[in-house]
């Protein structure tokens, strides 16, 4: 048995697009974008990026210094006497 079809001649037989109505309702319910809030958010993101870059640079320098110190200690512990390279530059005067 087939379900009854609505009569297209009746005035209440309109098809309502619920998805479109829901989109419009959601758009109307959203708060309007605040340009000042966008600027604050951008400023805080840039500040966080700069802070992260500084932390990475300090970490890199710390790793390099600790590595050099460890290599020096390894050299000294092995009994060598020429661990620290001395540059002898000659000046012609």
Dihedrals phi, psi of 13, to nearest 5 degrees:
-95, 25
pLDDT for the residue numbered 15 = 61
Please spell the DSSP secondary structure of 16-44, one letter per residue: P-HHHHHHHHHHHHSPPP-HHHHHHHHHH
Q: How far is CA 15 from CA 9, 19, 20, 52, in A?
A: 13, 12, 12, 55
Residue 14 placed within a domain? no
For 69, the domain range is 34-75
Residue 29 placed within a domain? no
Yes or no: say if 75 and 83 are a contact pair by the CB < 8 Å rule: yes
Residue 47 placed within a domain? yes
Structural domains in the chain (count)? 1
Residue 48 placed within a domain? yes
pLDDT tens figures, 33-92: 788 988 999 999 999 999 999 999 999 999 999 999 999 999 989 988 888 777 777 765
Residue 93 placed within a domain? no
Residue 27 placed within a domain? no
Residue 65 placed within a domain? yes
71: helix, strand or coil? helix
pTM recorded for the entire structure: 0.54
Residue 21 placed within a domain? no
């Amino acid at each position: 048995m087939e379900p009854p079809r609505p009569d297209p001649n009746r005035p209440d037989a309109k098809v309502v697009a619920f998805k479109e109505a829901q989109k419009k309702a959601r758009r109307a319910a959203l708060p309007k974008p605040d340009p000042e809030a966008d600027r604050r958010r951008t400023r805080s993101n840039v500040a966080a990026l700069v802070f992260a870059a500084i932390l990475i640079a300090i970490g890199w320098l710390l790793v390099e210094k600790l590595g050099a110190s460890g290599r020096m200690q390894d050299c000294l512990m092995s009994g060598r006497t020429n661990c620290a390279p001395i540059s002898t530059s000659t000046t012609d005067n």
